[in-house]
Amino acid sequence: MTEQRITLCGRLSVTWDGDELGESLPGRQGRLLFAYLALNRKRPVRRDELVEALWADEGLPSGGESLLAPPLSRLRKALGPGRIDGRSELSLTLGDEAWIDWEASQAGIEKARQLEQDGEHAGAYAEAGESERILSGGLLPGLEASWIDEYRNELDELRLQALELLARSGAHLGEAERVRAERSAREAVEAAPFRESARTALIEVMEAQGNVAEALRAYEEFRVLLRDELGTFPAPELNAVHERLLNAHKGGTSATSTRPEPGAPAGEEAEQGPGSVAGSRPATERQATPGEIGKLIDPRITEIELVGREGILEQLNAELDLAVDGDLRIALLAGDGGIGKTRIAAELAAGREDVTVLYGRSEPDEIRPFRIWSGLLRSAMRQAGDISPAEIVGGDGPTLARILPELVRSMELPAPGPAGDLESERRALFGAVMRMIGRFTARQPMLIVLDDLHWADRSTLMLLASLAGDNPPSGVLALGIYRDTELPEDSLLPETLANLQRRLPTLKMRVEALDTAQVGELVGNRLDETLAASLHDQTGGNPFLIEQLVRHLEETGVRDPDTAPAEIRQIISQRVNHLPEGGPDLLRRAALIGRDFDLQILMATTSLDEDAVIDLLDSAVSAGMLDESPSVPGRYSFVHALLRSTLEDELSLTRRAMVHREIGEAIERQTSSRPERRVGEKAWHFAQAGPAEADRAVHWATQAAEQAEGRLAYDEAVDFYEGAIAAARADEPVDQGLLARLLLSQANAKWKNGALQDAGDTFMAAAKAARDSGLPELAATAAIGSSWGGWDAFNVDTAEQLMLMRQALGSLPPVDSPLRAELMAMLGHGLYYGSGQAAEARELAHGAIAMMSRVYDLNAEFGVMQATAFIRWEPQNLKSRLPAANRMVELGEEIGDPELVAQGLASRALALLNLGRGAEAEADRSRQHAMSTTLPQIRFIAGSMQAVSRFLTGEWEEGERILDDLVSSGMPFRGSLLLQDAYGFMVGAQQGRLPEQIERLELFEQGSRGWEMWPTWRFGLLLAKAQAGRLDEVREEIDELGYESLDETREFNSTFLPFCAVGNFLAGELDDREGAKKLIELLDPFAGEWIMIGRIGSTLGPVEMHLGELHLLAGNDREAATALERSLVTCEAMNAAPYLARTKLALANALERLGDPDGEERRSELRDEGSVVARRLDMQAIVRRHLPE
């Protein structure tokens, strides 16, 4: 007889004839296939149905059923021969006796219901409990598909039924069962607030417990909820229960329950732990005394005397006095771990009755952005019990809800949406936090203690830095505590503290080790006072290490400190091993939960009963290894991070993975009614649980990343996505579609955070994974991402990028769609600039534009317009540039995306510069630059436009400074090329300094041969050689090239006008009259424009200036003067000092040749004014040309 046992709720496991096959299932796709077949085991499943089960949510793959063959073959192999039956229709060969937990839970509920009807409440209670246990694990946690969601909806209903059965049957049993019955009923009510059967079960449990008044209150709360939210009333059945309660309650009045509120779990929503000085104290309870507050910060404050810290404490009290008087003060305590920094903070808090104390502590591997600040604000709200939340929050509720999500429900606020303008919203959040603190300090000054800042996440530190902002709160002493000897290499703490110290009064102190005399005073009569020197030598005077060593000596009976182990970790291990049997293993498991942990979570990791676990924890508390919360039963903390890390390291890798899985599952169960809670912890524990938990690791890491994005913490979001990506890659065979989606999400987070090159690399990785997935829409989306922001946004392998785009385009259905249009436009953009295939690029661009006229998608329309800009910048398309740019700005504003608005403004500024409308261009450029302070992803392009603006106005030193700052701050190489080109030809060429760039120009000239229709880079290289004095070599090359060959180039591309401008430079260096005539012929149709290069506003001046100089060289003096007079007007309007000077010098020469028709005075004035500017800017090439010796 075969035995098959399958678990689909919680961890997926398969036992078949004694073989454990769960971890052998091949990757995510293998698990999805097996689960689908198991859930549908009573019928054969068609192959096309399995294809939809795997890929319908992502867009069906182009390979159709052929892509099913590899994962299905791997699944057959993993399960073994004969266990999947059929070819066109498939099924698992499970016998009638096979046990599947999903089916067993449903059967258990039916049995429990029958037993309840028969009055067998104990049996019903047991059956319902087992079914609820199964269902509480969730169906296939970590795996995501729409068909699973349908089953999960069914599971939610089944679990509610099980909880109600537990509550109803437990109400008829003993006290312990009634406690669980009430908890089950409350869970059901929380999950389904309007479900009358759940409310009825809760009220009946309360009645069975004798809490009639509380039951009446529960009824009244539900009645009001139905009236206010639905406009209806309780059903007759519930009203009958209410009537019975009223009759039972002889007094006729209902009393408010005096039962204390249950303590919130130490997790994301509670955010208490040691960071909440108020503990779980209800708002109506008395305020904690200073001594109690100090003990909450350091529970051993009354057990161990403070020694040698009187001077530091005196200085801190003086700072706090200033804060009480209304100042904002910063104090910093630095020192080694265990040196006593936290104890000093506890003493400071315990000695003051005139301040509100908030305490928060960072943790290693901090998993939730802003965790400290969320906890501090919640603690402050609890301590201000007489103020309503609305008064505390003010008008900042929607903003504060990003880090205090409970405000959404308690104040009926809209849930925060995705961040559009990251920095603006982040500043708004920081400002809201500061205002909230200010509302508190207006009532009472505040001491904010931020402990273990060396572990703080970037978001926490950024919020701390905002204390030095424009409107900081008053009446605050912020005390930062950190280990200055253990800062991670990438820590932002030094920079944060330096900024605070520059802007705020700051007291910085280092807590030093105790000397020998102080060690003797600390130990007191616990050991022979003659041992103080030896203790000092062994511990370096560190109080924590002294305490551990003294306890070790007391526990072992050894009297000589010199015989103790040299390493503190060994001392800790030996002390832990002296705990009662089972204690060391239990503490090691607790260490994996965190510095703070709950009894409920710890119980999930051990087979010991609750009483045994509590006894062992009590022994650890007595041994000084744990602190028990004085306010929340079942909550404990390790006395020091070093103790926890030592215990954690003693577990084997396999054991750690198993315990992490158990912890993660326990937190899942604890948060099942509100799965959005504690997602960072769940992500962390399942990530540490090994490849077998890849699905849940990916799922929770993705949820945590999305929460971090919602809280504007993009650095942390990137880290969470990295965890999900690592888990997906470790789960072989890798699901390339899942990997691509994760990479795309991470790339977008990096992009929004301004890490452009890193984003580009990740976009490319996503495009490759999407291609390998066989999912057309995903491949197209990722390929578009690889080109987002333009060719110069980040560095990529252009050939590979174009190949990925072609492959993605080929896989899309050949029908109109916004996605296809955008990909066509992006491919055209890449071909135009990356390979010189201009004809195909134009065809693709025109096709994309035409397709967008037949479909509607504003985002895609913007993407197409941006990517097809190369067509508009071909010389013949002048009239389309400004209208298109106006449309891009309109689209960005209509979509409501600040990044798109900023990109539209940059495009419009470029179009306006091209038309010589400098004031309007500067307005757009300034607006875009202002937006860049809150949009990191446009910082480089906005900075580049500012640098080029300085080149245009003649502020060349300032432009160089901006250029250097941008390049040194990590600007992608391609983007830096635009700036270097602008500098080279707007500044260097006019100064005669192009020879400095000959090597670079040679590389560019070689690379441009395959795509450039006009030899712009070749002429640029020749100009550099000419300025270097290699005139004969240059003339020889010009003769070889021949201007006549230009007549064969019938197409105009975007390099045409820059070619003419560089040609003018070169003709002037060579005194080439014939060349000048040819360039006049080419350039004349484009009079009225400014010659633009690139997309950052770089310009080589007005066409009229170049025509004037060329006519002057060709001997056409009247035509030269006419063109230069027009250039004079447009250069003045554009505030283009270098080009204005150049125009004035050339015009002076033309007027002189014409006999000074406007008088010699005007000619002299023009020459003098032009000469002053040209010499000030060291425009040697221009001086040589227009002011010959």
What is the residue-wise DSSP string for 275-313? G-TTTT--TTSPPPPHHHHHHHH-TTTTTS---S-HHHH
Query: Across 277-291, 381-395, 925-939, which has the greatest mean pLDDT?
Result: 925-939
Per-residue pLDDT band at 262 (split at 50, 70, 90): very low
The radius of gyration of the chain from alpha carbons, rounded to an integer in Å, stands at 37
Pair type for strands 99-100 and 4-7: parallel
The full set of domain ranges for the chain reads: 4-97, 101-248, 273-404+437-510, 516-564, 576-651, 983-1186
The answer, yes or no, to whether residue 961 has pLDDT greater than 60, is yes
* Cα gap 144→706, rounded to integer Å: 16
In the 8-state DSSP scheme, what is residue 57? G
* Buried-exposed string 573-584: b where 16+ CB fall within 10 A, e elsewhere: bebbeebeebbb
pLDDT, greater one: 202 or 537: 202
* Cα gap 869→882, rounded to integer Å: 11
* Buried-exposed string 697-718: b where 16+ CB fall within 10 A, e elsewhere: bbbbbbbbbbbbbbbbbbbbbb
For tokens 């009480």, what's the residue? 324
Q: Which residues are 626's β-sheet partners? A: 638
Q: Where are the alpha helices (DSSP H) in 564-609?
A: 568-577, 583-593, 599-603
Q: Which CATH architecture has domain 983-1186?
A: Alpha Horseshoe (1.25)
- Sign of dihedral through CA atoms 406, 411, 412, 417? negative
How much is the pLDDT for 272? 38
* Cα gap 1084→1114, rounded to integer Å: 14
How much is the pLDDT for 571? 74
The answer, yes or no, to whether residue 767 has pLDDT greater than 50, is yes
Per-residue pLDDT band at 463 (split at 50, 70, 90): confident
Do 377 and 384 form a contact (C-beta atoms < 8 A)? no
Per-residue pLDDT band at 576 (split at 50, 70, 90): confident
Average pLDDT over residues 120-146: 92
For tokens 């429990």, what's the residue? 112
Could you please state the CATH topology (level 3) that the domain comprising 101-248 is classified under: 1.25.40
Question: How confident is the model over 642-687, as pLDDT tens digits?
Answer: 788 888 888 889 999 999 999 999 998 888 878 888 999 999 999 9
Q: How many CB atoms lie within 10 A of CB 377?
A: 23
What is the residue-wise DSSP string for 1028-1075? TT-HHHHHHHHHHH-GGGGGG-----TTHHHHHHHHHHHHHHHT-HHH
How much is the pLDDT for 254? 39
Phi, psi of 20 (to 5 degrees): -90, 110
Q: Where are the alpha helices (DSSP H) in 1071-1102?
A: 1073-1083
pLDDT, greater one: 986 or 262: 986
**At the top level of CATH, which class does the domain 576-651 belong to?**
mainly alpha
Q: Residue type at 355?
A: V
In the 8-state DSSP scheme, what is residue 260? P
How much is the pLDDT for 537? 75
How much is the pLDDT for 437? 86
The answer, yes or no, to whether residue 562 has pLDDT greater than 80, is no
How much is the pLDDT for 1000? 83
User: And the tokens for 204?
Assistant: 């009946």
List the single range of 139-143, 438-442, 811-815 with lowest mean pLDDT.
Answer: 438-442
Average pLDDT of the chain, as a whole number: 86
- Say whether 897 sits in a helix, a strand or coil: coil
Average pLDDT over residues 723-750: 92
Question: How confident is the model over 867-880, as pLDDT tens digits?
Answer: 999 999 999 999 99
How much is the pLDDT for 705? 92
pLDDT, greater one: 1172 or 363: 1172
Phi, psi of 333 (to 5 degrees): -115, 115
Q: How many CB atoms lie within 10 A of CB 1047?
A: 11
How much is the pLDDT for 419? 64
Q: Which CATH architecture has domain 273-404+437-510?
A: 3-Layer(aba) Sandwich (3.40)
Instruction: Note whether 101-248 and 983-1186 share their fold.
Output: yes
* Cα gap 761→52, rounded to integer Å: 31
Helix (H) or strand (E) holding 202: helix 196-208
The answer, yes or no, to whether residue 565 has pLDDT greater than 70, is no
Do 343 and 298 form a contact (C-beta atoms < 8 A)? yes
Q: Which bin fits 141, alpha (ψ -120 to 50), beta or left (φ > 0)?
A: beta
* Cα gap 152→135, rounded to integer Å: 10
* Cα gap 114→108, rounded to integer Å: 10
- Say whether 361 sits in a helix, a strand or coil: strand
Q: How far is CA 1178 from CA 71, 993, 995, 1141, in A?
A: 70, 10, 15, 12
How much is the pLDDT for 567? 64
The answer, yes or no, to whether residue 240 has pLDDT greater than 70, is yes
The answer, yes or no, to whether residue 1188 has pLDDT greater than 90, is no
How much is the pLDDT for 753? 85
- Reading across the β-sheet that carries 89-92, which strands appear in turn? 45-46, 89-92, 84-85
Question: How confident is the model over 817-858, as pLDDT tens digits?
Answer: 999 999 999 999 988 887 778 889 999 999 999 999 999 999
The answer, yes or no, to whether residue 461 has pLDDT greater than 80, is yes
pLDDT, greater one: 563 or 199: 199
* Contacts for 435 with CB less than 8 Å, ≥ 6 apart: 394, 396, 471, 473
How much is the pLDDT for 559? 65
How much is the pLDDT for 810? 92
Residue 640: name the closest of 684, 673, 604, 596 by CA: 596
- Say whether 91 sits in a helix, a strand or coil: strand
Question: How confident is the model over 1099-1142, as pLDDT tens digits?
Answer: 999 999 999 999 999 999 999 999 999 999 999 999 999 999 99
Pair type for strands 356-361 and 446-451: parallel
List the single range of 636-645, 1009-1018, 1077-1086 with lowest mean pLDDT.
Answer: 1009-1018
Question: How confident is the model over 102-114, as pLDDT tens digits?
Answer: 999 999 999 999 9
How much is the pLDDT for 1009? 67
Q: How far is CA 493 from CA 197, 332, 417, 452, 709, in A?
A: 53, 12, 30, 11, 22
* Cα gap 266→281, rounded to integer Å: 14
* Cα gap 133→115, rounded to integer Å: 18
In the 8-state DSSP scheme, what is residue 228? I
How much is the pLDDT for 366? 67
pTM to 2 decimals? Answer: 0.78
- Reading across the β-sheet that carries 635-638, which strands appear in turn? 596-598, 635-638, 626-628
Average pLDDT over residues 424-428: 78
For tokens 């009358």, what's the residue? 196
pLDDT, greater one: 538 or 476: 476
Do 1142 and 1172 form a contact (C-beta atoms < 8 A)? no
Number of H helices, E strands in the chain: 57, 17
How much is the pLDDT for 526? 77
For tokens 């309109």, what's the residue? 890
Question: How confident is the model over 683-712, as pLDDT tens digits?
Answer: 999 999 988 889 999 999 999 999 888 888
User: And the tokens for 175?
Assistant: 């006290």
Residue 376: name the closest of 480, 274, 502, 507 by CA: 274
* Cα gap 593→830, rounded to integer Å: 50
* Contacts for 61 with CB less than 8 Å, ≥ 6 apart: 51, 55, 67, 773, 774, 775, 776
* Cα gap 1089→875, rounded to integer Å: 10
How much is the pLDDT for 34? 92
Q: Which CATH architecture has domain 4-97?
A: Orthogonal Bundle (1.10)
Q: Which residues are 6's β-sheet partners? A: 14, 100
Give the CA dihedral 148, 150, 154, 157, nearest 10 degrees.
Answer: 110
Q: How far is CA 959 from CA 577, 949, 1108, in A?
A: 67, 8, 28
Average pLDDT over residues 125-147: 92
The answer, yes or no, to whether residue 177 has pLDDT greater than 50, is yes
User: And the tokens for 1031?
Assistant: 């005139």
Residue 842: name the closest of 855, 854, 825 by CA: 825
Residue 1110: name the closest of 1044, 1170, 1064, 1179 by CA: 1064
